[in-house]
Amino acid sequence: MSSTFIFSILVFQLLFASQPCHRILTTAAGGKWQLLQKSIGVSAMHMQLLRNDRVVMFDTTRFGASNLSLANGKCLNNDCTAHSVEYNVLTNKFRPLTVQNDTWCSSGAIMPDGNFIQTGGSLEGGRSVRLINPCNNNCDWQEFPNGLAAPRWYASNHILPDGRQIIVGGRGQFNYEFIPKNVAANTFNLPFLSETNDRGVENNLYPFTFLNVDGNLFIFANNRAILLDYVNNKVVKTYPAIPGGDPRSYPSTGSAVLLPLKNLKAAAIQAEVLVCGGAPKGSYQQSLKKTFVPALDSCARIIITDPNPQWVMETMPMARVMGDMKLLPNGHVLLINGAGSGSAGWEQGRDPVLSPVLYRPDNAVGSRFETQKPTTIPRMYHSTATLLRDGRVLVGGSNPHKFYTFTGLFPTEISLEAFSPDYLDASFDDIRPTIVAPKSMSIVRYRKKTIIQVKISGTVVENMISVNLVSPTFTTHSFSMSQRLLALGNDKVTALGNSMYKIDATMPSSGYIAPSGFYLLFVVHQDIPSQAIWVKLQ
């Protein structure tokens, strides 16, 4: 063996011995699936995580009985079955809830006090406002039949810095309104919604709405977007159309996320939106004729804060329509559910996409997507997904039929599954943070430093620790409303001994960056998240 070869080995060992030992999720096994409940009796068309780790799910009262009876033999309008359930994540149990009018294709958000305010629906439910105040066992829906100024069917909601919700659009509604109302029950015209309405098809329902870091509202419908000063009812920026011009909004249903907000102490914070999937022009009409056009396999990404914003196109591993996009605690994006052809609508989708796809926003173009392990259960039209406090993603729903139909193609799904990303694998437990303090439900304040104490048994890489806040979202029809992740990073990490560490982190500066209310606080180390605690930002 030559002395030169021996010297090379020694140099190699010294170089790598001087580097901190850390692991990144680059050789993923693809996650794991778990069937939680074979039947919860109700198909989860809509889904909302509450601050008490319960998930409220509901479908519609319009199309007959579900498979779950109301409590105590109760009946409503000659229907003795439930159309809403509350699922307890911690116990894996569920109970029926009572909705009094039709919630079909409605919208909602969590208010700053943690109450779930839900709006609109079909027919008599179109102007309804509904409320659930999270409790241990006996809370149920409260309903206010004429709480809205206009019927809202297929509308989108977003929580605002002042604590109100804005409700944008809906079928035949080219306007927006607010709840609660501080003036008369007004609507405000938004011509953009009529301009993006494809005659006879629409392709602009459930618009993708995101609060920009300047306090204005980014609104995407069909294949293009605007930035709206909703206070003065003024469009302050018009964005270019996505290259190719294909629609991404219902019923040509794609999905979208506001990518994690970072560098929150910077003078100018960058905000970026990712839109994925959808259906080519004409797909909806073709599906009515039983011709199912392959879905779009592209994603479009745009920096909405850029002075000259342009869409950057990427190609997914597989085409997807009616998919969901969920922000994971480590800032990755999970694409899940959906079909490979057709469009949204009754029995208008085909080729279920069983494999989720992981998207890493910070990787180089061409290396961002990774296909995950498939489920065995098709999740087509009217399926949902939401992030849980333990880092799993709860998956439910799928009913492409007008009634509960358990035979034939893509039967109504009343099961619940959980998808566990690879970061939950036990092989990462030694670098996984465990939050010791503060306690869940603690209050954190804008611009103030918060101290989080964690335990990490393995080797710690301080510059790979981040405190991340994730909002609980309302999810339906492939869009998670008010979805937001704030990557706070860390100001300082102090070793306390016995595998304990103190992390200093500064909370966001204003409600423009993070509207006040309840968030899941995760500590992420080398892309591995802790279990979250609930915090209230105010």
Sign of the C-alpha dihedral computed for residues 409, 415, 419 and 425 taken in this order: negative
Residues 305, 286 within the same domain: yes
Residues 407, 441 within the same domain: no
* Confidence at residue 64, expressed as pLDDT on a 0 to 100 scale: 85
* Confidence at residue 78, expressed as pLDDT on a 0 to 100 scale: 87
Residues 382, 458 within the same domain: no
Residues 420, 431 within the same domain: no
Phi-psi label, residue 183: left if phi above 0, alpha if psi -120 to 50, beta otherwise: beta
Task: Tell me if residue 462 falls in helix, strand or coil.
Answer: helix
Last residue of a domain, one of 424, 447, 471: 424
Instruction: Lowest mean pLDDT of 134-148, 272-286, 335-349, 484-498, name the range.
Output: 134-148
Give the number of other CB atoms < 10 A from CB of residue 465. 21
* Whole-number Å distance between alpha carbons of 196 and 202: 8
Q: Which two tokens stand for residue 69?
A: 């009876």
pLDDT-derived band at 9 (thresholds 50, 70, 90) equals very low
Residues 415, 433 within the same domain: no
CATH code at 341?
2.130.10.80
Mean pLDDT of the chain: 94
AA identity, residue 234: K
Domain assignment present for 309: yes
Residues 484, 385 within the same domain: no
Residues 237, 359 within the same domain: yes
Residues 407, 433 within the same domain: no
Last residue of a domain, one of 424, 448, 482: 424
Domain assignment present for 14: no
* Confidence at residue 8, expressed as pLDDT on a 0 to 100 scale: 40
pLDDT tens column, 488-515: 999 999 999 999 999 999 999 999 999 9
Residues 163, 301 within the same domain: yes
pLDDT tens column, 450-478: 999 999 999 999 999 999 999 999 999 99
Instruction: Lowest mean pLDDT of 184-193, 247-256, 372-381, 452-461, name the range.
Output: 184-193
pLDDT tens column, 305-320: 999 999 999 999 999 9
Residue 522 belongs to what domain range?
Answer: 426-537
Domain assignment present for 227: yes
* Whole-number Å distance between alpha carbons of 172 and 169: 8
| Residue closest to 253 by CA, chosen among 211, 310, 295, 200 | 295
Residues 93, 135 within the same domain: yes
* Confidence at residue 16, expressed as pLDDT on a 0 to 100 scale: 35
Domain assignment present for 3: no
* Confidence at residue 12, expressed as pLDDT on a 0 to 100 scale: 34
Instruction: Lowest mean pLDDT of 178-187, 348-357, 367-376, 496-505, name the range.
Output: 178-187
pLDDT-derived band at 137 (thresholds 50, 70, 90) equals confident
Domain assignment present for 338: yes
pLDDT-derived band at 21 (thresholds 50, 70, 90) equals very low
| Residue closest to 207 by CA, chosen among 253, 267, 159 | 253
* Confidence at residue 266, expressed as pLDDT on a 0 to 100 scale: 95
Residues 444, 387 within the same domain: no
* Confidence at residue 15, expressed as pLDDT on a 0 to 100 scale: 34
| Residue closest to 441 by CA, chosen among 51, 50, 48 | 51
- Tell me how many domains the chain contains: 2
* Confidence at residue 457, expressed as pLDDT on a 0 to 100 scale: 97
Beta pairing, strands 485-487 & 517-525 = unpaired
pLDDT tens column, 41-63: 999 999 999 999 999 999 999 88
* Confidence at residue 185, expressed as pLDDT on a 0 to 100 scale: 63
* Whole-number Å distance between alpha carbons of 301 and 242: 9
Task: Tell me if residue 16 falls in helix, strand or coil.
Answer: helix
Last residue of a domain, one of 424, 443, 475: 424
pLDDT tens column, 225-245: 999 999 999 999 999 999 999
Residues 496, 369 within the same domain: no
Q: How far is CA 41 from CA 18, 68, 84, 482, in A?
A: 57, 4, 9, 28
Domain assignment present for 12: no
Domain assignment present for 6: no
Beta pairing, strands 442-444 & 533-537 = parallel
Give mean pLDDT, residues 205-225. Answer: 98
Phi-psi label, residue 509: left if phi above 0, alpha if psi -120 to 50, beta otherwise: alpha
Domain assignment present for 2: no
CATH code at 481?
2.60.40.10
Residue 512 near residue 408 (C-beta atoms within 8 A): no
pLDDT at 4 over 70: no
